[in-house]
Structure 1
Amino acid sequence: MQNKIIKVNSSDNVAVALVNLKAGEIVYFEGENITILSDTKSKHKIALQQFDSGDRIIMYSVLVGSANGVIKKGDVLTTENVKHQSEKVFGKTASFSWTAPNVDKWKERTFMGYHREDGQVGTENVWLFFPLVFCENRNIETLKEIFEKELLKQQQSPHQMLLRSLVNNGGLDTTVAETSTKVFNNIDVKFITHPGGCGGIRQDSESLARLLAGYVNNPNVAGATVLSLGCQNLQINIFKDALKAINPDLKKPVLIFEQQQMGTVDNMLSVIIKDSFEAIKKANNIERKPAPLSKLKVGLECGGSDGFSGISANPTLGAVSDLLVALKGTAVLAEFPELCGVEQELVNRCVDDKDGEKFLTLMKAYEKSVIDAGSGFDMNPSPGNIKDGLITDAMKSAGAAKKGGTSPVVSVLDYGEYITEPGLNLLCTPGNDVESTTALVGSGVNMVLFTTGLGTPTGNPIAPIIKVSSNTELAERMPDIIDIETGAVIRGEKSIEEMAEEMLEFMVEVASGNIQTKAKLLNQNDFIPWKRGVSL
């Protein structure tokens, strides 16, 4: 018989409902009967003791809140009877040692990737078009329409065909349906636009320059076409300096065009199309070759989390992260607002004390900026999070941090900094799904593992986003966005370690181009820079 509630850590004083529970129902747990006092939906938390006002609530063995009044044993925790609270951290308090998992079966495994001259290996081969300033967004969109129609030969969507049939009074006309055969087989062409590059403060443009430079240097990119107006804050020289700072000896072709120096739009577009086509044709000659798994650089992300995310999907990512680190690969844990409450553990795991200090400095500065704007990290859980049992930021953070596994932290990166060290890295980003994913890819990851309990279609223009469901119900309800699901962990059918092995196999297939992610099939290409103001 399936357990009805589960305690994540032996020191916890709350449990998670695995199924819907009715008021008055008696649940046998840890040698005693617990009477459920209120109707409780699955994924929500049950008090395993009576809490008086101010009492500490422990989950994942860390402080995740305090009682906002009396909570009786067997009652459900809510936003009314619990308030956010987390431990204060002042520095490293303990030494750290790590026993790596056994990876003998993976040591000789390879994936088929695109090798770059700087030693990085891509899981994709993309020619990227982007503007330095929003004034060029329209020209990017024009180029997108031209290149996608002629190079990618994109077939019209069934929704477009539906609208055509409605326009034709119900007569379905399929005579203009196009072939989906691509002109080039080894190159994708992608386009990004953004609202930045001018206005705001100069630091915003400099930050955007570093992000865009990271996209060019990302191993998934073969080369880029860059559009500039000419008078904007993000000048061409600022972008070039950012690119040089990341990779002083960049060998990739980067074509830059400035509209105010080129005359008419028609003339500029004609030159861009001719030059870009020749460069894309050359980039198509790059073919996949075997690469060790140590060349994988994986971003760890969660969005639309639910009460099971921290029990199934996120710990599975943590186990994958540990496997990857043991193989000399790279994992990157981001979303700093969702590390609130687990800072002490992460500081203690930092190999270099300076990284621990940098992590706390970034966290404190971020939290201060949020408070100065009249908000706080306690406002981070979304309505969807709360509805599915994540009622405090510390509770959400404790589960989110499980994505980082148990390995040492080798480096702490600020937003826009590029990965240089294999192993587990921390990257300062917002918790916002797309802003964080955008930043991870800009820091050099060549694929992203993205957990969700509620469902989100998030994708990226240049990196595969593997969507991992925390529960089977979601995977069955939204099969068009979920790549792999971890519901078997909740049901007790698979261990975290077994699920991690299955996930790593899937990652190798995606990295080799044998499986396309659902986000790619949906052509979901999200890109949102962080303006470094307040964004949770």
Structure 2
Amino acid sequence: MQKKLIKVQAEDNVAIALVDLKEGDRVEYEGEEILILSDTKAKHKIAYIDFHVNDLIYMYGVLVGKAMFSIKRGDLLTTENVKHQSDLVEGKTNTILWNAPNITNWKDRTFMGYHRSDGQVGTKNVWLFFPLVFCENRNIEILKDVFEKELSLGKQRNQRQLLRNLIEEKDTDFSDVVDVDKNRTFDNIDVKFITHQGGCGGIRQDAQVLAKLLAGYVKNPNVAGATVLSLGCQNLEINLFKEALNTIDPLLNKPVLIYEQQQMGSHDDMLNIIIKESFAGIKKANTIERKPASISNLKLGLECGGSDGFSGISANPALGYVSDILAAVGGSPILSEFPELCGVEQELVNRCVNMSDAERFIDLMRDYEKSAIAVGSGFDMNPSPGNIKDGLITDAMKSAGAAKKGGTSPIQAVLDYGEYVTKPGLNLLCTPGNDVESTTGMVGSGATVVVFTTGLGTPTGNPIAPVLKVSSNTILKERMQDIIDIDSGGIIKGEKTIQEMGEEILEYIIQVASGKVEAKADILGQDDFIPWKRGVSL
């Protein structure tokens, strides 16, 4: 019989509804009977004790809010009666001893990856086209149209035929609108194209960060080579990009073709040269083949978006178990989304191996929140309307569940946006909570696979790294089967443990990393790329 309520930790004074509850229901939990005082939808929280005004509310063992009014035991917590509250953090107060998971079944596991000369191993083999400045976006789009059509890249969607049938007033069976494989020119290389709105017109610091991010995409082992377009007069000059490349890897041994339009004569001549030389690079990259590699070579981005009240008790802790296994075998999990770490800073600070990283984490968090407050916002405004509707009513409550993606392992490094992961073990990366900006940043820092947990559903993907979606509940998986890769709803139904689900997720990651299974986001052609722009436009 499925439980109706759950407390995440014994010291919590709120409980989560696992099913819809009605006013007047009497629920047995931990040997006690609780009278439900308000209609409560699954995923939402009820008071486990009587709260008075300003009483503190704890969940996941941390402070997540305070009572604005008196709340009776069994009553619903809402944005009207609860306000965001989190503990202040001044520095490291303790060193947390890590109880690492059993890795007997994982320490010798391998995946079939693309070995690069710098020792990194990729899960994909991509030739990447991108601009240094938005002025070149149009040329990137022209090149994309040419290469995708002539190389028969990806899949052609039958929605075009659907529209044609509608225009011609022909009968259409919507069930016939499916993806159709085309004959690819190359079997062992993907060609991807990204555009952006940066590179000029903003502060110079944004151009510098964008240069680091793009250099990180070239450095990422999923990339075999790149074609880079520059106008010539922008803030993100070619020299700035080359400096970023040299900083991230002075011995970079990949073909990087760079073209400056203002120095190349006519538009057609420029495109002809780019197409000819890029094709030669793509053809050579197609000869690179997958070979076995230890899973310690995986750099795993940990992401959540469209979160719900179940995310923090199913999908996120299951992914956290994956993170711990990967850290234990020498891999590099990456935890980002700093606004969604608000409220759990003390635990993360105490998990930092080096004092300098603990101090840097605090400084990055404080500077980030100050910048948010300066524009009339703050971390307390982080939960989206969808989050709130599905039970995440304070930022600390959302953060405490989101942080579970990072497991319990020691933190080996704290990085700012655009910095590259070099240390094995858990890395913290300063990014926004914005799904695409965060995913973009993690891949630019070296993530070769991203696992994205969600309770509400999102199609987010990335041009060079597979992004796997894990649903927090089975209803979402059934509703959005073409988007969700893995369902962790069995945890909610009591059918699987967090450890069992985590091992299932890791097994799936290995299959995707080996090219045996394709991520749903890749099947849909979801190539999202949005750099984080911190400054104002000038």
Partner residue of 1:24? 24
How large is the RMSD of aligned CA atoms in angstroms? 1.4
Answer whether contact 2:228 2:258 (CA < 8 A) is retained.
Answer: yes
Partner residue of 1:479? 481
Q: Name the CA distance, whole Å, in 2 between partners of 1:371 and 1:436.
A: 20
Answer whether contact 1:196 1:208 (CA < 8 A) is retained.
Answer: yes
Does residue 530 of structure 2 align to residue 528 of structure 1? yes
Does residue 150 of structure 2 align to residue 150 of structure 1? yes
Q: Name the CA distance, whole Å, in 2 between partners of 1:239 and 1:479.
A: 40
Answer whether contact 2:226 2:255 (CA < 8 A) is retained.
Answer: yes
Equivalent residue of 1:224, what SS? strand
Partner residue of 2:521? 519
Give the gaps of 5 or more residues in structure 1.
none
Partner residue of 2:266? 264
Deviation at 1:271, TM superposition (A): 0.3
Please give the TM-score of this superposition, normalised by the length of structure 1.
0.98
Partner residue of 2:280? 278
Partner residue of 2:413? 411
Equivalent residue of 2:105, what SS? helix
Answer whether contact 1:125 1:220 (CA < 8 A) is retained.
Answer: yes
Query: 1:125-274 counterparts in 2 under 5 A?
Result: 125-153=125-153, 155-170=155-170, 180-274=182-276
Q: Describe the superposition over 1:239-288 as per-residue Cα deviations: whole angstroms up to 9, x where unpaired.
A: 00001110010000000000000111111100000000000000001000
Query: 1:37-436 counterparts in 2 under 5 A?
Result: 37-153=37-153, 155-170=155-170, 180-436=182-438
Please give the TM-score of this superposition, normalised by the length of structure 2.
0.97
Q: Name the CA distance, whole Å, in 1 between partners of 2:138 and 2:372.
A: 34
Give the residue type in structure 1 aligned to 2:123: T
Cα 1:140–1:37 change in 2 (3 A) is same
Q: Name the CA distance, whole Å, in 2 between partners of 1:179 and 1:338.
A: 40
Q: Name the CA distance, whole Å, in 2 between partners of 1:30 and 1:102.
A: 30
Cα 1:179–1:428 change in 2 (3 A) is closer
Q: Name the CA distance, whole Å, in 1 between partners of 2:154 and 2:338.
A: 39
Equivalent residue of 1:130, what SS? strand
Answer whether contact 2:91 2:358 (CA < 8 A) is retained.
Answer: yes
Deviation at 1:171, TM superposition (A): 6.8
Cα 1:370–1:499 change in 2 (3 A) is same
Equivalent residue of 1:105, what SS? coil
Partner residue of 1:496? 498
Query: Identical aligned pairs, as a percentage?
Result: 70
Deviation at 1:394, TM superposition (A): 0.1
The runs of at least 4 aligned residues of structure 1 exceeding 4 Å deviation read: none
Cα 1:463–1:315 change in 2 (3 A) is same
Query: 1:433-472 counterparts in 2 under 5 A?
Result: 433-472=435-474
Give the residue type in structure 1 aligned to 2:262: Q
More divergent stretch after superposition (149-158 vs 9-18): 149-158
Q: Name the CA distance, whole Å, in 2 between partners of 1:100 and 1:153.
A: 43
Deviation at 1:157, TM superposition (A): 1.4
Deviation at 1:154, TM superposition (A): 5.0
Deviation at 1:178, TM superposition (A): 8.5
Answer whether contact 2:202 2:535 (CA < 8 A) is retained.
Answer: no
Q: Name the CA distance, whole Å, in 2 between partners of 1:516 and 1:222.
A: 19
Answer whether contact 1:113 1:288 (CA < 8 A) is retained.
Answer: yes
Q: Describe the superposition over 1:37-86 as per-residue Cα deviations: whole angstroms up to 9, x where unpaired.
A: 11000000010111111000000000000001111110000000000000
Give the residue type in structure 1 aligned to 2:126: V
Q: Name the CA distance, whole Å, in 2 between partners of 1:144 and 1:483.
A: 27
Cα 1:512–1:48 change in 2 (3 A) is same
Give the residue type in structure 2 aligned to 1:105: N
Answer whether contact 1:369 1:533 (CA < 8 A) is retained.
Answer: no
Cα 1:154–1:402 change in 2 (3 A) is closer
Equivalent residue of 2:156, what SS? coil
Answer whether contact 1:206 1:234 (CA < 8 A) is retained.
Answer: yes
Answer whether contact 1:314 1:451 (CA < 8 A) is retained.
Answer: yes
Q: Name the CA distance, whole Å, in 2 between partners of 1:179 and 1:296.
A: 29
Deviation at 1:28, TM superposition (A): 1.1
Give the gaps of 5 or more residues in structure 2.
none
Give the residue type in structure 2 aligned to 1:434: V
Q: Name the CA distance, whole Å, in 2 between partners of 1:218 and 1:242.
A: 14
